[in-house]
Each structure stands twice: as structure tokens, then as C-alpha cells.
């Protein structure tokens, strides 16, 4: 099973962020981490491959060179390798980000499933997974709290608000936005962190 996980390099929600101008901020002294919702996506992907006994989990990130640290965190959780689409300084909206993710994934292989987090804690746009699915002509469900995969079908239980849930069925490949409740992300041990430093990260220019 070929699984791609889209992860984002975001400021720690506990960090002090200095706003600069109308839309920017000074991140030189700000701690960055893997987007918390993306941890559920990585964990789900790794568990799927572990259960199957074969397959590969590929982390895909659009960001600066500094985002490598976030990708290493995902690899310490069990992802096998990564693809970084490099951007320098510019802010990318969800449309351009999704097109970059699409291009990187399609250049690399053929996904059986693509995981994302339900949203990013820095912008909270809730758009990228939907735009990615639309660009790749794939079905998509977000807010996933339970997932079963059988015979080329994904059965997803999702939160819809007010404690209500709905169950949807999709054909593979598809895009699934993970959220809290889907699993319990693991804490990497020291040997896993050291192994992650040696795993491959392919870098691509945004163009």
C-alpha cells in the first residue's frame, strides 16, 4: 500500500509570535512543530502499513528548508521517506499549496490513500485537503474519527458537530482528513529519532 501524508510545519501554539505588518510575523525566535492534526494522519498511515506487513508511508510538505525538522518528526513516528517542495519566504494559499502537493505526489508514485490533518493550527483554513482532492479528482472526507478499509473501499466515520457523526463510503484512492479521536499518536523513542535522521528527503523546487 502506497500512502502519502501531507504535513505542515507550523508555529507551536504555545510560542510567542511577534506580528510584523498586516500579514506577516517574525519567526526567528519561534519554535516550529509538526501540525498537531497531521500527527493523527501520520499515525494512521503508519498503523495501516504495519498492519498490512508491507507498503510505504511518504510524507509530503510544502515549506522552507526549516520544514525538514518537521518531516524528521514524522519519520521518527514511522514514515519511510519524505518529499519537500521548497518555498522561500512567500505565503502560499490553499489553492497553490494543493497544486504543489498534487504535482509532488504524482511525480513520485500512485497513492492508494492520501492522509492530511483536518486543518492547520496556524491558518485554520480547512481548505487544502478539499482542493487537493478536487485537483486529483478523488473523493474526500475530513474530520475522520474512525476508518475501515476493505476491498478497495474506505468507510469513514466523521464528526459533523454537536456530537453527531455520519458514516461515508468512498472508493480508493481517496483523501482523508484526520482529527483527534482517530488514534493516539505515538511518541518516538530515541532509536527512532536517530533512524529518522538517515531517511531520504527528496527536495523539489516549487516551479
10 Å Cβ neighbour count for 106? 12
CB 165 within 8 A of CB 140: no
Q: How much is the average pLDDT of 166-195? A: 95
For the chain, what is the mean pLDDT?
Answer: 91
State residue 90's pLDDT score: 66
> Is a pLDDT exceeding 80 seen at residue 71?
yes
pTM for this entry: 0.91
Q: What is the DSSP letter of 190?
A: H
User: Cα torsion at 41, 42, 43, 45 (round to 10°)?
Assistant: 90
Percent of the chain with pLDDT over 70: 94
Contact 5, 13 (CB under 8 A): no
97-131 pLDDT per residue, tens? 999 999 999 999 999 999 999 888 777 777 899 99
Cα dihedral: 126, 154, 96, 136 (round 10): -150
pLDDT band (50, 70, 90) for residue 139: very high
pLDDT digits (tens, 9 = 90+) for 12-34: 777 777 777 765 666 666 788 89
Predicted confidence band of residue 45 (pLDDT cuts 50, 70, 90): very high
Question: Is residue 190's pLDDT more than 90?
Answer: yes
Percent of the chain at pLDDT exceeding 90: 73
Task: Give the residue among 203, 3, 207, 8 at the shortest CA–CA distance from 109.
Answer: 3
Q: Which three cell numbers stand for residue 186?
A: 505515538
CB contact set of 196 (below 8 Å; sequence gap of 6+): 72, 73, 75, 76, 188
Place of cell 480508493: 172
Amino acid at each position: 500500500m502506497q500512502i502519502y501524508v501531507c504535513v505542515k510545519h507550523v508555529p507551536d501554539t504555545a510560542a510567542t509570535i511577534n506580528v510584523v505588518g498586516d500579514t506577516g510575523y517574525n519567526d526567528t525566535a519561534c519554535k516550529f512543530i509538526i501540525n498537531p492534526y497531521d500527527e493523527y494522519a501520520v499515525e494512521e498511515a503508519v498503523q495501516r502499513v504495519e498492519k498490512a506487513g508491507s507498503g510505504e508511508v511518504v510524507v509530503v510538505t510544502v515549506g522552507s528548508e526549516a520544514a525538514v525538522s518537521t518531516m524528521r518528526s514524522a519519520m521518527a513516528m514511522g514514515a519511510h521517506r519524505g518529499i519537500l517542495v521548497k518555498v522561500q519566504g512567500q505565503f502560499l494559499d490553499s489553492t497553490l499549496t494543493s497544486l504543489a502537493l498534487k504535482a509532488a505526489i504524482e511525480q513520485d508514485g500512485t497513492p492508494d490513500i492520501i492522509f492530511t490533518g483536518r486543518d492547520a493550527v496556524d491558518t485554520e483554513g480547512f481548505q487544502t485537503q478539499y482542493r487537493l482532492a478536487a485537483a486529483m479528482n478523488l473523493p474526500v472526507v475530513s474530520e475522520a474519527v474512525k476508518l475501515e478499509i476493505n476491498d478497495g473501499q474506505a468507510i469513514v466515520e466523521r464528526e459533523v458537530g454537536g456530537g453527531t457523526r455520519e458514516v461515508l463510503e468512498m472508493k480508493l484512492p481517496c483523501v482523508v482528513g484526520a482529527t483527534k479521536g482517530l488514534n493516539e499518536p505515538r511518541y518516538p523513542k530515541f532509536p527512532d529519532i536517530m533512524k529518522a535522521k538517515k531517511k531520504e528527503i527528496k527536495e523539489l523546487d516549487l516551479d
